[in-house]
Amino acid sequence: MVKVHIETGRMHQIRVHLADAGFPVLGDMLYGHPRINRLLLEQVKLKHIFLHCWKYSFWDLFSENPVAFEAAIPVHFDLILKK
């Protein structure tokens, strides 16, 4: 598992950089590893990309305060990690 911090919301930024470094996101059908994704689908029924936005924050221009949201790790992530 990797924690990534990005400053912009460029399309596919995390996926492209991780794949280029040799660590594609599991379940990523565009930039991922086809053989590994096929095995994950067959053996553990992974049907979704293994990418999760845990925390999202921005500066609220109306209140002039920072706003942050956090989301728990999805249940299917825990199931895959335990296998």
SS (H, E, C) 5-69: CCCCCCCCHHHHHHHHCCCCCCCCCCCCCHHHHHHHHHHHCCCCCCCCCCEEEEEECCCCEEEEE
Q: Contact at 8 Å (CB) between 71 and 54?
A: yes
Read off the pLDDT of residues 27-51 as tens digits, 9 standing for 90 and up. Answer: 999 999 999 999 988 888 888 899 9
How large is the average pLDDT for residues 11-29?
93
How large is the average pLDDT for residues 23-30?
94
Higher pLDDT, 6 or 27: 27
Estimate to the nearest angstrom the gap between the alpha carbon of 25 and the chain centroid: 7
pLDDT category of residue 20 using cuts at 50, 70 and 90 = very high
pLDDT value, residue 32: 94
